[in-house]
Structure 1
């Protein structure tokens, strides 16, 4: 812990500001999505949001000093990542938030690291330590508690299913980047898949 505190003293103000903006943007996005769904359909909102993201990533991509041109196979991988991790993720998240509160949505989406870990274990044969399995168990119990609490009589809140699908898509996106990051700059991967 003290090493972390010492390391944080060396972080520039610009970096701290970027971290704070990132945290505030991410944490408020679920509330913003619920608010916007009053006026826009899930598909319209996803398109609008990712037009902004694509334009922003294009600016960062153009500013890169060294760019790598993807092969056709790599282009297909990037398209696949964007389709799942951006397209399907956002549409599923938006449909889920029609019936699920922003706070519950943020908890379920917060399971993304666990899903990414499981995908990495499946696709890359990564070993998972016993402590991490304990964390998975606690998270699954939390998710089941939320699912049971939102179960109303004889109806199922299908929004939770949409959000779980969004988490699976995000996990595919996160893990699918791994082989591409050996060749491409992270901004290139984000820009090409956006």
Structure 2
């Protein structure tokens, strides 16, 4: 289906919003994680995000998702919203930031493999080449971040790897759901399911919130409202309009943005090697998302879609 340039630009803009907000989450987690344990931080983030999304659903009068969307919502809610956030928070407290970033960036590769196996998504050479370049950049960024010291435990690496697997499985499960329900519905109910899965951490959240500094609590609320509610909705919107593998490759821009944001917000000046790795990440994303040449005959034969907005 050949969408107009304007309708191709909207999913790209949504992907840009997503990676910017997810990159900011890594910076905020580093401060909020000092006051909150992994499960409590995940639950507080999901509660803030779920409340925000529920209000948006009420304003837009979004009803319950159709029955066909529920399997994907349930799987993505438990694995991506729930398990992924707890495992990532737990892993990042036991490994240095560079190792965590390196292991979690296996996720986009797993998305491409899972999407090809379960969704039948194509894996064109451009996509594979771009992901290879970006993963190389992520490795360089991760090793550069680890060079400054900090210990890594085997359990921490395993937790980050499990988080990457849960992330990939959640994305692939979400893809069919966004074909049957709106992005806001899929995100809202996925977030609420993730919050329910994290309810065993309620006691920890209450006890830790009473002694946490205001900045850490505000950081947790920020994580819920922006990197969760807004970013996950933008992601679902973009996922409904592109392949899971190509959208997953876009997240390789996150390491480069984390380097830049840490420089601006935390004063952590990156070295030339780290900057080079970040540039490789961005270059790989550009290659992976570039459009190959379409044969003139195919263009001529393609019938324009009278209603591009109907694509979910």
| Count of residues paired in the alignment | 180
Q: Which among 103, 119, 137 is matched to residue 124 of structure 1?
A: 119
Q: Which among 158, 166, 189 is matched to residue 192 of structure 1?
A: 189
- The offset of 1:103, in angstroms, is 5.5
1:49 aligned to 2:45? yes
Matched ranges for 1:1-194 at <5 A: 25-71=21-67, 74-102=69-97, 105-106=100-101, 108-110=103-105, 112-141=107-136, 146=142, 156-194=153-191
| C-alpha distance 23-137 of structure 1, shift in aligned 2 (>3 A) | closer
| C-alpha distance 47-187 of structure 1, shift in aligned 2 (>3 A) | same
Bigger mean CA deviation after superposition, 158-167 or 39-48: 158-167
Rg (Cα) greater in structure = 2
Give the Cα–Cα distance (whole angstroms) in 1 for the partners of residues 115 and 137 of structure 2.
Answer: 22
Residue 30 of structure 1 contacts residue 106 of structure 1 at CA under 8 Å; is this kept in 2?
Answer: no
Runs of at least 5 residues in structure 1 that lack an aligned partner in the other structure? 1-5
Residue 104 of structure 2 contacts residue 160 of structure 2 at CA under 8 Å; is this kept in 1?
Answer: yes
Give the Cα–Cα distance (whole angstroms) in 1 for the partners of residues 96 and 22 of structure 2.
Answer: 16
Give the Cα–Cα distance (whole angstroms) in 1 for the partners of residues 56 and 145 of structure 2.
Answer: 43
